[in-house]
Chain A
Amino acid sequence: GAVVSQHPSWVICKSGTSVKIECRSLDFQATTMFWYRQFPKQSLMLMATSNEGSKATYEQGVEKDKFLINHASLTLSTLTVTSAHPEDSSFYICSARAGPGGDQPQHFGDGTRLSIL
């Protein structure tokens, strides 16, 4: 149980294009989803928190116009990297939490490796 699917797993695109990443909870409803960024050999850095049907809350330093987050249903959240540039290249990982409490487990997808040429 508690499977989170993330798609695509790997994407290469040209500088200036926009890329959409999907995060789906397959066997549970996720009231809250999170988006993280991870650089090589480093820890996970929280980018934003999204609750179904409301606007995402971004962490300090994360550009909300660059990283658009939509959480339209209890099983789907999307992250769109707009006008991507080489410095946006990274490993992006989503997680989903079934309950509203912070003591409920977060289950992670397998990440999306984004490479901007």
Chain B
Amino acid sequence: GENVEQHPSTLSVQEGDSAVIKCTYSDSASNYFPWYKQELGKGPQLIIDIRSNVGEKKDQRIAVTLNKTAKHFSLHITETQPEDSAVYFCAASPTNTGKLIFGQGTTLQVKP
């Protein structure tokens, strides 16, 4: 089955700097890769997603890149702000199951 590895587990950046979180997946049949932000005591919030027919997608300060050959995808947050501090999860969805397989999560701390 699908396995998703996420790194780093914790990331601390200064306000205004960029943050990058990387994920790798194992199942070449996966075709959908969402990223979620989870604040303390809340459910995950979808912040951006990408499908396997696209290599890059951007939404304001957030971008995601996908390398199908290498089976990895990354989240890029530019001009970080303290309110970006949260736990971020990547996920992959194999076409044959439609389920989301989550990475282990990255705790991002943005220092003012």
Q: Which of A42, A101, A106, A113 contacts B100 (CB 8 A)?
A: A106
Complex alpha-carbon distance, A111 and B51, angstroms: 27
User: B105 to chain A: closest CB distance in Å?
Assistant: 5
In the complex, the chain B residue whose C-beta lies closest to that of A59 is B99
Interface flag for A25 (CB, 8 Å):
no
| Cβ-based interface call for A107 (8 A) | yes
Is A32 part of the contact surface with B, judged by Cβ < 8 Å? yes
B4 to chain A, nearest CB (A): 9
Tell whether A54 is near chain B: CB-to-CB under 8 Å. no
Interface size classification for chain A: 20 to 34
Minimal Cβ-Cβ distance residue in A for B53: A103
Would you call A103 and B42 a contact (CB within 8 A)? no
Given contacts A102-B32, A108-B36, contact A43 B89 (CB under 8 A): yes
CB of B98 within 8 A of CB of A105, answer: no
Which one, A2, A49, A101, A108, contacts B44 given CB within 8 A? Answer: A108
B88-111 interface code vs A (CB 8 A; 1 in, 0 out): 010001110111101111000000
Number of chain B interface residues as a range? 20 to 34
Tell me the bound Cα distance from A100 to B98 in angstroms.
8
Complexed CA–CA distance, A34 and B42 (Å): 16
- 30 contacting pairs across A/B (C-beta < 8 A): A2-B46, A32-B98, A42-B105, A43-B102, A43-B105, A44-B89, A46-B99, A46-B100, A93-B43, A93-B44, A95-B43, A101-B98, A102-B93, A102-B94, A102-B95, A103-B32, A103-B95, A104-B32, A105-B34, A105-B46, A105-B49, A106-B34, A106-B46, A108-B43, A108-B46, A110-B41, A110-B42, A111-B41, A111-B43, A113-B41
Binding site for A on B (CB under 8 A): 31-32, 34, 36, 41-46, 49, 51, 89, 93-95, 97-100, 102-105
